[in-house]
A and B are shown apart, each in its own frame.
Chain A
Amino acid sequence: MDEATSWITEEMRGLIGRPFNQARSYPVSASDIRKWAIAVYYPDPPPAHYYDEDAAGTGVHGGIVAPEDFNPFAWLSAEPGMAARRGTFDPDWLEHRFGIAGPGLATNLNAGLNTTYGPRIRPGDVISSKSQVVSYAEKQGRMGRMLITVIRTVWINQDGTTVKTVDQTAIRY
């Protein structure tokens, strides 16, 4: 690609502010939470309120809660379901989700997160998610010219309460 040509096309600019990635989780299971906590705390055991219902019930949370970083959409969501699963990671997944061409760069990395939390996720919760593109930008970095994309995602539980708002920054090069 010609260095003088921006990677950010008019079609891509048109994505800014448009909702996408709407999803609804399956009801969160205690087993999902246990596995998540064991994985992120490895090699230590996680705190009891992530796996032991009796201990959690007498603790500050009154029951099992999920770690704040828990992802109820991992592997599969109730909506859009199995058909939406991708077999391999596509660096241009965002643009392809809207049916337009992306810049065709080889690498897409998580460059940062900015999150505000609401109540903790608990077993039985059903989380709905909606995202939107906040911005595209280009800058020079250690890997040369990079495309910076910021995506805002909001998670709401079955009571309509926002449990998380996150701005994720991705870099592509």
Chain B
Amino acid sequence: MTETPTSASAATPSEFAVGHEFPAFERESGFAHWNRYAAVNDEFIGIHMDDDEGRAAGYPAAFGMGNLTWAYFHIALHRWLGDDCRIVSLSTQFRGAVVRGTRVMVRGTVTGTRTEGAEELVEVTLRAEDADGRTLAPAAAVVAVPTGDASTGRETPDGTAAGHA
């Protein structure tokens, strides 16, 4: 199984340009992922654990937690914009179930930027989609990214890591 690594972001300031598309963040979907999430969030609900329950709800099999896709949006944003970025707001609509076996791909595009104090606010349009490009969950975020000396966790323009633990 190949999944996208989740190391700190390598985004550079030039990648905050409007229209920039970040590399997709990918995850497989199945009981190995969902049971771990159920274990920490006490989310042991039949539709996430039993194919029959998923079918009873109108889907071809068990399907994943929306909350886990939600977590993937956060992980993707930090991967793209750094451990030190601050997610100001995030919203999504869960439009398609992440049915067992679905490969989830989180994609993001910069749609706006503005500077407020020592932070650059980056507006990102995201979507979780399956391997066929069907949208599972559109999303939008505003992320504050430190500028200048305050920046850590992303690569500097010369490619060296800036203050990352």
Contact = CB atoms under 8 A, between A and B. Distances in A.
Given A49-B83, A55-B165, A111-B93, A42 B33 contact: yes
Nearest to B45: A89
B91 A112 contact: yes
Contact of B67 (A58, A110, A116): A110
B74 A39 contact: no
Contacts of B67: 69, 110
Interface in A56-77: 56, 58-61, 67-69, 71, 74-75
A107 B164 CA distance: 45
B94 A35 contact: no
A74 B6 contact: no
A2 interface: no
Contacts of A98: none
B94 A40 contact: no
A44 B36 contact: no
Nearest to B150: A60
Interface residues of A, number: 41
Interface residues of B, number: 47
Nearest to B89: A116
A111 B1 CA distance: 29
A117 B165 contact: no
Contacts of B164: 59
Nearest to B1: A43
B87 A59 contact: no
A49 B39 CA distance: 21
A149 B122 CA distance: 30
A69 B17 CA distance: 27
B37 A60 contact: no
A17 interface: no
Given A36-B40, A42-B33, A56-B165, A112 B86 contact: no
B55 to A, nearest CB: 12
A1 interface: no
A38 interface: yes
B77 to A, nearest CB: 9
A74 B92 contact: no
A107 to B, nearest CB: 5
Nearest to A75: B42
Nearest to A41: B6
B6 A117 contact: no
Interface of A: 32, 35-36, 38-49, 55-56, 58-61, 67-69, 71, 74-75, 89, 106-107, 109-117, 143, 169
